[in-house]
Structure 1
Amino acid sequence: MNDSQNIFYTSISKYYSEIFPFNPMQLKFVTNKLDELPGKHILDIGCATGELSFQLAAGGAEVTGIDLNEDLLQQAISNKKHKGLSFQQGNMLELKQDFNPQQFDAVLCFGNTLVHLNSESHVLQMLEGAYTVLKPGGKLLLQLLNYDHICSEPVEALPVIDTENIRFIRRYNFADDSELIGFQTDLEIKAVNRIVSNETPLLALKSETLKTLLEKAGFQNIQFYANFKQEPKGGDHLPLVVSCEK
């Protein structure tokens, strides 16, 4: 995570769970892919405030959540406690250093976390690390945005998130000569009439490129979906959900 990305997540950390509330379909998707949770060891990359990690642990899994942002991580440590759950600061490019080979039954990377890596070589490094720490037959489950659709339109803004306390506006700035997209955000904090603005670069990672990188890392049975309901990929859906195995 570069400095601008860290500043962005710190700026929204107090309101993160309100902006991105727990999605029960994520829990259902992971449970479906693993058949059952009890006894499974899961690594949750980009765990943020720990909502999904906690639900997985409550379902019987042994869960390790990692995140680079200290503000988000501290919320997870303080608010999400379970005997099967631990949190630590961690970099998704350093999985081989931080964990043992064949330690996990599943590695998760949801919330568009993967595209915070700003090059395909870094994405491959992360995928190779995930492959190493997975047990044979283990699952890598990803969720990012559908950059095939976003770049082809192009989609210049994502839906506004408007709640009792905040209004969150998200826009994209495209450059013809770059794989990176400028992700511009304005967070309006209604109680104090304050706007926190930021821009961070994201990698416009398209599905065919991601498939090639997954195969290069050694993964097989690669499946793409339009959402966590596992509806078929294709068209103008914004999410892109991926399942593959070692």
Structure 2
Amino acid sequence: MSYHQFAYIYDYLMKDVPYDSWVEFVGNQADRYSVKGKDLLDIGCGTGELSLRLVKGGYSVTGVDLSEDMLFMALEKAEKEGLDLPLFQQDMSELEGLGRFDIITIFCDSLNYLGTEEKVINTFKKVREHLSEQGLFLFDVHSIYKMSQIFLNETFTYNDDEVAYIWDCFPGESPNSVEHGLTFFVRDDETGQYERIDEIHHQRTFPVLTLKNWLNEAGFEVLEVTADFTEGKPADNSERIFFSCKRK
């Protein structure tokens, strides 16, 4: 999906997201599974917040996203900081021609924006094509618990002098899916007036066992399944599920 105008307020709303925890997770898993190379493909890189942190952490990062607006913002940031961050606009389920990487990541529940089983399966296959023989595939997804118990039929609000939003969560058409109806009011610095922006975002998740089966069929060995930036296995109330995989 394209984030359209949402891209331009994304960073403001995501300022408290624990990007450094993802960087730490990548480093820990790379050490644990003896990944020597530093070439990293960050799929669903968005505005580049995580990608640029990884670059500063010593990785040679390539970013991929479907949204042209998000990539434009990522490029602006990289140029401002004088950092090298090659960027490509591609659908993660149709990745082509990017070469091989030592580590491939899909973080911040980007995989949940794929609405069909076929797209998730194709993404796994495309990731494998781009992963080196001894490489590591790391990704996270929302848990079914989070989709059904935290998001579903809930309304979230936020308000400060710059941005306000109303975020309504409705049942999606597919199992374990949610439609996020977002209405933003963003202050114009010149006029002091607020512009209204409306967005609909669709997310879907799948059971852990289903994802493990698809990974296996795509040619991966699942090394670990953990939760919520810990080394522990997912519990009934875990919100974010992490997968660490390698090529078979």
TM class by smaller structure: 0.7 to 0.9
Q: Structure 2 residue aligned with 1:24, among 20, 25, 48?
A: 20
What is the Cα deviation at residue 134 of structure 1? 0.6
What is the Cα deviation at residue 154 of structure 1? 7.1
The aligned amino acid for 2:87 is F
CA shift in 2, pair 1:239/1:156, >3 Å = farther
Is the Cα–Cα contact under 8 Å of residues 226 and 232 in structure 2 kept in the other structure?
yes
The aligned amino acid for 1:79 is K
CA shift in 2, pair 1:215/1:38, >3 Å = closer
What is the Cα deviation at residue 200 of structure 1? 2.9
In structure 2, C-alpha distance between the alignment counterparts of 1:158 and 1:106, rounded to whole Å:
37
CA shift in 2, pair 1:152/1:216, >3 Å = farther
Is the Cα–Cα contact under 8 Å of residues 94 and 129 in structure 1 kept in the other structure?
yes
In structure 1, C-alpha distance between the alignment counterparts of 2:165 and 2:139, rounded to whole Å:
24
In structure 1, C-alpha distance between the alignment counterparts of 2:166 and 2:140, rounded to whole Å:
21
Q: Structure 2 residue aligned with 1:157, among 154, 157, 160?
A: 154
Partner of 1:47: 45
What TM-score results when the alignment is normalised by the length of structure 1?
Answer: 0.84
What is the Cα deviation at residue 178 of structure 1? 2.6
**Gaps spanning 5+ residues in structure 2: where?**
none
- Is 1:99 matched with 2:98? yes
Partner of 1:192: 193
Partner of 2:89: 89
- Is 1:167 matched with 2:176? no
CA shift in 2, pair 1:192/1:210, >3 Å = farther
In structure 2, C-alpha distance between the alignment counterparts of 1:130 and 1:209, rounded to whole Å:
18
What is the Cα deviation at residue 133 of structure 1? 0.8
The aligned amino acid for 1:13 is A
What TM-score results when the alignment is normalised by the length of structure 2?
Answer: 0.84
Partner of 1:211: 212
Count of aligned pairs between the two proteins: 236
The aligned amino acid for 1:232 is K
Is the Cα–Cα contact under 8 Å of residues 47 and 65 in structure 1 kept in the other structure?
yes
Question: What's the C-alpha RMSD, in Å, of the aligned pairs?
Answer: 2.5
What is the Cα deviation at residue 11 of structure 1? 2.1
In structure 2, C-alpha distance between the alignment counterparts of 1:125 and 1:26, rounded to whole Å:
24
